[in-house]
Amino acid sequence: MEPGIVFIMLFLCATAMVFGIRYLSNKERMAMIERGIDPRMGKPAQSAPKPFLSLKFGLLMVGLGLGLIAALLTVVNTNIDNKESVPLYFGSIFIFGGMGLIVSYAIEKKWLDQQKS
Protein backbone atom coordinates (compact mmCIF):
# COMPACT_ATOMS: atom_id res chain seq x y z
CA MET A 1 0.00 0.00 0.00
CA GLU A 2 1.19 3.48 -0.72
CA PRO A 3 1.92 5.79 2.24
CA GLY A 4 -0.65 8.36 1.09
CA ILE A 5 -3.44 5.79 1.18
CA VAL A 6 -2.43 4.71 4.68
CA PHE A 7 -2.72 8.27 6.00
CA ILE A 8 -6.07 8.76 4.28
CA MET A 9 -7.39 5.52 5.75
CA LEU A 10 -6.13 6.47 9.22
CA PHE A 11 -7.87 9.85 8.97
CA LEU A 12 -11.12 8.27 7.77
CA CYS A 13 -11.06 5.62 10.50
CA ALA A 14 -10.34 8.19 13.22
CA THR A 15 -13.16 10.42 11.96
CA ALA A 16 -15.56 7.47 11.86
CA MET A 17 -14.55 6.46 15.38
CA VAL A 18 -15.16 9.94 16.80
CA PHE A 19 -18.50 10.18 14.98
CA GLY A 20 -19.52 6.73 16.22
CA ILE A 21 -18.66 7.51 19.82
CA ARG A 22 -20.60 10.78 19.73
CA TYR A 23 -23.56 9.12 17.98
CA LEU A 24 -23.78 6.27 20.50
CA SER A 25 -23.33 8.64 23.43
CA ASN A 26 -26.20 10.78 22.16
CA LYS A 27 -28.42 7.70 21.66
CA GLU A 28 -27.66 6.57 25.22
CA ARG A 29 -28.52 9.98 26.64
CA MET A 30 -31.78 10.12 24.66
CA ALA A 31 -32.76 6.66 25.92
CA MET A 32 -32.10 7.77 29.50
CA ILE A 33 -34.24 10.88 29.01
CA GLU A 34 -37.08 8.77 27.56
CA ARG A 35 -37.02 6.57 30.65
CA GLY A 36 -37.04 9.60 32.97
CA ILE A 37 -33.47 9.17 34.20
CA ASP A 38 -31.26 12.21 34.60
CA PRO A 39 -28.34 11.73 32.16
CA ARG A 40 -26.02 13.76 34.41
CA MET A 41 -26.53 11.32 37.28
CA GLY A 42 -23.27 9.85 38.53
CA LYS A 43 -21.18 12.68 37.13
CA PRO A 44 -19.99 15.52 39.35
CA ALA A 45 -21.82 18.79 38.81
CA GLN A 46 -18.57 20.71 38.53
CA SER A 47 -15.06 19.44 38.46
CA ALA A 48 -13.24 19.77 41.73
CA PRO A 49 -10.57 22.46 41.89
CA LYS A 50 -7.04 21.21 41.47
CA PRO A 51 -4.81 23.70 43.24
CA PHE A 52 -1.61 21.69 42.83
CA LEU A 53 -1.94 20.84 39.14
CA SER A 54 0.51 23.50 37.99
CA LEU A 55 2.97 22.48 40.72
CA LYS A 56 2.74 18.87 39.62
CA PHE A 57 3.32 19.66 35.95
CA GLY A 58 6.05 22.15 36.79
CA LEU A 59 7.99 19.67 38.89
CA LEU A 60 7.46 16.98 36.24
CA MET A 61 8.92 19.24 33.53
CA VAL A 62 11.85 20.22 35.77
CA GLY A 63 12.48 16.53 36.44
CA LEU A 64 12.38 15.71 32.74
CA GLY A 65 14.80 18.54 31.99
CA LEU A 66 17.16 17.43 34.73
CA GLY A 67 16.97 13.88 33.40
CA LEU A 68 17.96 15.04 29.92
CA ILE A 69 20.82 17.12 31.30
CA ALA A 70 22.04 14.23 33.48
CA ALA A 71 21.94 11.83 30.53
CA LEU A 72 23.73 14.31 28.28
CA LEU A 73 26.48 14.89 30.85
CA THR A 74 26.86 11.14 31.35
CA VAL A 75 27.16 10.49 27.61
CA VAL A 76 29.59 13.37 27.05
CA ASN A 77 31.86 12.41 29.97
CA THR A 78 32.00 8.68 29.17
CA ASN A 79 32.80 6.69 26.07
CA ILE A 80 29.23 5.65 25.26
CA ASP A 81 28.29 5.62 21.58
CA ASN A 82 24.90 6.74 20.25
CA LYS A 83 23.26 3.31 20.12
CA GLU A 84 24.09 2.60 23.75
CA SER A 85 23.03 6.04 24.99
CA VAL A 86 19.34 5.76 24.05
CA PRO A 87 18.37 3.64 27.09
CA LEU A 88 20.32 6.03 29.28
CA TYR A 89 18.29 8.98 28.03
CA PHE A 90 14.95 7.20 28.49
CA GLY A 91 15.90 5.84 31.90
CA SER A 92 17.09 9.14 33.26
CA ILE A 93 14.03 10.96 31.90
CA PHE A 94 11.69 8.54 33.66
CA ILE A 95 13.69 8.46 36.89
CA PHE A 96 13.96 12.24 37.22
CA GLY A 97 10.35 12.77 36.07
CA GLY A 98 9.20 10.27 38.70
CA MET A 99 11.27 12.03 41.33
CA GLY A 100 9.58 15.31 40.38
CA LEU A 101 6.15 13.71 40.86
CA ILE A 102 7.22 12.27 44.21
CA VAL A 103 8.38 15.72 45.37
CA SER A 104 5.03 17.16 44.21
CA TYR A 105 3.18 14.48 46.19
CA ALA A 106 5.24 15.23 49.30
CA ILE A 107 4.52 18.96 49.03
CA GLU A 108 0.78 18.35 48.54
CA LYS A 109 0.62 15.89 51.44
CA LYS A 110 2.48 18.27 53.76
CA TRP A 111 0.11 21.12 52.86
CA LEU A 112 -3.00 18.97 53.32
CA ASP A 113 -1.75 17.73 56.69
CA GLN A 114 -1.20 21.33 57.79
CA GLN A 115 -4.74 22.26 56.69
CA LYS A 116 -6.32 19.39 58.69
CA SER A 117 -4.58 20.23 61.96
Terminal CA-CA length for the chain: 65
Q: From CA 113, how far away is CA 71, in angstroms rounded?
A: 36
pLDDT confidence of residue 43 = 66
pLDDT confidence of residue 51 = 79
Q: From CA 51, how far away is CA 117, in angstroms rounded?
A: 19
pLDDT confidence of residue 80 = 85
pTM score of the predicted model: 0.58
pLDDT in tens, the chain (117 residues): 687 888 999 999 999 999 999 999 999 989 988 998 888 776 665 665 677 888 999 999 999 999 999 999 999 999 888 788 899 999 999 999 999 999 999 999 998 899 887
pLDDT confidence of residue 26 = 92
pLDDT confidence of residue 14 = 95
